[in-house]
Structure 1
Amino acid sequence: MDSTVAQFFDQMKGRDVTFIGLGVSHRELISLFAKKGAHVTIRDRRTPEQMGEEYEKLKAQGIDFILGEHYLDKLDGDMIFRTPGMYFHHEALKKAREEGKVVTSEMEVFFDLCPAKLIAVTGSDGKTTTTTLISELLKAQGKRVHLGGNIGKPLLSHIEEMGPEDYAVVELSSFQLLSMRQSPDIAVVTNIAPNHLDVHGTMEEYIAAKKNILLHQNAFSTTVLGVDNELAASLAPDVRGKLVTFSMQGPVERGAYMDEAGDIFYADSGNVLKIMNRDAIKIPGDHNVLNFLAAISATWGLVSLENIVKIAENFGGVEHRIELVRIRDGVRWYNDSIATSPTRTIAGLNAFKQKVILIAGGYDKKIPFLPLAPKIIEKVKALILMGATADKIEDTVRGFSGFDGEKLPIYRVGSMEEAVQKAAELAVDGDIVTLSPACASFDLYQNFETRGEHFKSLVRAL
């Protein structure tokens, strides 16, 4: 075990450690800190009855609980871990910091202690697929890889297993990055578009959070930017180490790009090497070509050309991302529940060469739907709306120039069950039905994964 890691856990003996939220990233950590001799308290909005068996199991380990509506009152402890989705500037956390409490997160501590080489990915769209691709490319090369952050396992729980020859490949959200003051060896920004404005309030804060992925790098680091996106490209002046870029719009000075014929190359100071044609990439859509360009740019020099092509030809995508659920009576049903913003839904619609039946709507993140309207008019043959944003999406589409209610009928439903049934009634042989909500799921579901699983179960039961 790395000596810095060992020293950190030795210091936890007898310390009061509070975890806000019993979520995925905290479950393993709570047991680990308890085993290391810390006095652990869990604060959660849920009641013991809502937690069920998990509450009894943790209580038996000597872990204390503060539960219910007032779970954030009088925050205390030598160290307070906020859940990844909790806003850093939440009033309860601000008050705790003002009182001198240590407020941190699993990712912040992991970045401080990590003995492995760190590659981190952020962006408004594509970060999960890009992160997974980087992991798959490195594994194909025989590297020992730990995948985590906003996806996969909580990495701090496994830090004792990591060594200096390993790679930690991490997806980071704006909520995680907002308080980060450490940056990875290789930082990737896929793109930046309006998202999570219901929490951040302004685009300025959202962009500033994303920028933290590279602001604390040193001169020996690498930053990868998607320059087809204006906001991501604008971060170039803040890069301190090596700048690598990627583009679908033609050559770049250093990085992966695609030409008009769909051929993919890597350029470095005048040297250009052809890698493959975009047709070699198994998963569909321009957005997945961009994800591959980002992953190639991040791992160039670490992964052979042969392994890059092998992963392109065999990687089938990540669950809930234009995932083919089934083919029924000639109708192809896709789960794109990850599309929690208009830009994600636009990318999902562009992945298909024909018009589709679209199921959309959900929780309101205060993101404008105007950019989505022309794409819906162009690519959708029937629109099925549900959730809190149904009115906003319908009003935006109906009010957009070129809308024709006869060519694009709009249906309103009250649940996912009704949405799937309506789509099944409308679809005929050769049609495509896709769940691509353009919204978060919190009005009806705990997260986009739960929404996607429900959709898939309903489709399979048809």
Structure 2
Amino acid sequence: MNHLNQYLSQFCSIGLLGYGVEGKSSYRYIRKYFNELKIIVFDDSDEKLPEKDNAQKHLLKDWVKSIGEVDLWIKSPGIPWSELMEANKEKMTSQSELFLKYVPGKKIGITGSLGKSTTSQYIYDALKFSNKQGFLGGNIGQPLFNFVDYVCDDDVIVMELSSYQLKNISSSPDIAVLLNMFPDHLDFHLSCNDYFESKSLIGKFQNNSNVLIYNKDISSNYIIGNGKKVSFTAGKNEADINALDSKIYLENNQEIEINEKLFWKISDKLNLCAVVAVLLELGMNINDIENSLDSLSGLEFRLEFSGKINAIEFFNDSISTIPESTINAIKSVKDVDCLIIGGFDRGIDQKKLLEELLDRDTLKHILCLGDTGKLIHDTLKEKKRKGIIFLEDIKEVFHHIDKQNNIKKCVFSPGAPSFGMYKNFIERGQAFHEALMNWKK
């Protein structure tokens, strides 16, 4: 019996808070090994539990009524702690927490407001290129419980960890990566500081055999724990690992040449610093690192080049969900003259983005969608910004573009979540691509 099952075997009943992708994964794993264990699911969806199972399902708000009959609660990331104020935190855990504590292998955890999916994918792809056995999961790919049965002591697990997954954990990964921190998810966290503190937990419980790799621009208040500290930044000789021009500079005057196909994106300069730092900690030599980085390709919908259509170059950055990612996008694409922006409003401050849009004279067309698009449109209109228009949907965007004759490069970088318009950034990115292909015809 593995360590995770040894831990779970002491309980007679388990409550699952949430029955989405991760909740279903928890359910399948527990039921696979514990046929008689009582499972109670709390979720507001219409999803039905498997037939011929004695598990129960109730509305999320009714979880309080079962406090006395549940021995262990496993919370899905999307369930806000504000809805669980009466919870006994000692009885509350999560997939991330259980995986960190009880599953073997070397665990690499990546978090940050911008770039964690890209960085996680790059690390995983570099490991595959080097023929190292690894797994990718958490906030990217598949839930962690999906591959518990296949992990061995020598395997490497790359875990993308959101602030939702990190909040209230009490374990840290062997190698933790803290990429950056910008205000985000303020509809979930109590405050900006609460969000930042949740991110910082990725290194809090490390010991001196662990490593925390962090962006030097992050306040030292959030660089915590007893792990070895490795810093990175953009610039030379300012941190342990530095990105400048087309190179990453290491200690002892060593350097790594980076393929221009990766380094043209401003955010990727820092992402790749973190990737290099992780690969060095895993014992890879410089030549192997350079070769593995040459094999990398960009993440889908992260400033992805969609093609040149009707003399316009299009870039799909649907994964952009915060203002800083949009700023990075328009700084990365040289001579961009058209921006499609907007989505769900989570109450994030748009000041820096608005300043960037006001100052960027070469950006002749700003096409706004959704709640944040309306806010951006109205604010810039008040300031007499030219070339800005609010549109109802993606189809209207292409109707508008069709009437213009001076657009050369167009970036779709929403800078906000897709809620209310699309299921997620993937569906949004696909919708943009489909609209683009239909417009091409």
TM-score relative to the length of structure 1: 0.86
Matching residue of 1:264: 248
Q: Verify: 1:235 aligned to 2:197, yes or no.
A: no
Matching residue of 1:363: 344
- 8 Å CA contact 2:163–2:198 kept in 1: the answer is yes
Letter in 2 for 1:337: S
Q: 3-state DSSP class of the match of 2:421?
A: coil
Q: 2:109 aligns with which of 120, 124, 127?
A: 120
Matching residue of 1:212: 201
Query: Structure 2: where are the runs of 5+ without partners?
Result: none
Matching residue of 1:291: 271
Q: Deviations over 1:329-378 (max 9, x none)?
A: 22222221111111111111111011232111111111111100232231
Letter in 2 for 1:286: I
Query: Deviation at 1:426?
Result: 3.2
How far apart, in 1, do the equivalents of 2:284 and 2:52 lie?
47
- 8 Å CA contact 1:384–1:413 kept in 2: the answer is yes
| Identity rate, percent | 27
Q: How do 1:8-407 residues align onto structure 2 when only pairs under 5 Å count?
A: 8-11=7-10, 15-36=12-33, 37=35, 38-47=37-46, 51=47, 55=48, 58-67=50-59, 72=63, 74-76=65-67, 77-87=70-80, 89-91=81-83, 93-97=84-88, 102-227=91-216, 229-231=217-219, 234-236=221-223, 238-252=224-238, 254=240, 256-259=241-244, 261-267=245-251, 271-276=252-257, 278-282=258-262, 284-301=264-281, 302-377=283-358, 378=360, 380-399=363-382, 404-405=385-386
How far apart, in 1, do the equivalents of 2:328 and 2:139 lie?
21
Q: 3-state DSSP class of the match of 2:51?
A: helix
- 8 Å CA contact 1:115–1:164 kept in 2: the answer is yes
Letter in 1 for 2:394: M
How far apart, in 2, do the equivalents of 1:419 and 1:28 lie?
39
What is the number of residues matched between the two proteins? 432
Q: 3-state DSSP class of the match of 1:200?
A: coil
**C-alpha RMSD over aligned residues:** 2.4
Query: Deviation at 1:326?
Result: 3.3
Alignment CA distance shift 1:203-1:295 (3 Å): same
How far apart, in 2, do the equivalents of 1:284 and 1:114 lie?
38
Q: Deviations over 1:136-155 (max 9, x none)?
A: 22222221111111111111
How far apart, in 1, do the equivalents of 2:136 and 2:368 lie?
35
- 8 Å CA contact 1:339–1:436 kept in 2: the answer is yes
How far apart, in 2, do the equivalents of 1:398 and 1:201 lie?
32
Matching residue of 1:416: 394
Letter in 1 for 2:133: R
Alignment CA distance shift 1:63-1:420 (3 Å): farther
Alignment CA distance shift 1:43-1:309 (3 Å): same
Q: 3-state DSSP class of the match of 1:374?
A: helix
Q: 3-state DSSP class of the match of 1:196?
A: coil
How far apart, in 1, do the equivalents of 2:421 and 2:66 lie?
30
Q: Deviations over 1:4-28 (max 9, x none)?
A: 134135446xx33232322222223
Alignment CA distance shift 1:72-1:425 (3 Å): farther
Query: Deviation at 1:32?
Result: 1.9
Letter in 2 for 1:173: S
Query: Structure 1: where are the runs of 5+ without partners?
Result: none
122-131 vs 413-422, greater mean Cα deviation: 413-422
Query: Deviation at 1:186?
Result: 0.8
How far apart, in 2, do the equivalents of 1:396 and 1:214 lie?
39
How far apart, in 2, do the equivalents of 1:325 and 1:176 lie?
32
Query: Deviation at 1:417?
Result: 2.5
Letter in 2 for 1:416: I
Letter in 2 for 1:17: I
- 8 Å CA contact 2:341–2:413 kept in 1: the answer is yes
TM-score relative to the length of structure 2: 0.90
Letter in 2 for 1:258: A
Alignment CA distance shift 1:387-1:244 (3 Å): same
Matching residue of 1:5: 4
Q: Deviations over 1:375-432 (max 9, x none)?
A: 22315221111112223212333455xx641xxx11111223223432344365x722
How far apart, in 2, do the equivalents of 1:175 and 1:122 lie?
11
Q: Verify: 1:458 aligned to 2:432, yes or no.
A: no
Letter in 1 for 2:321: T
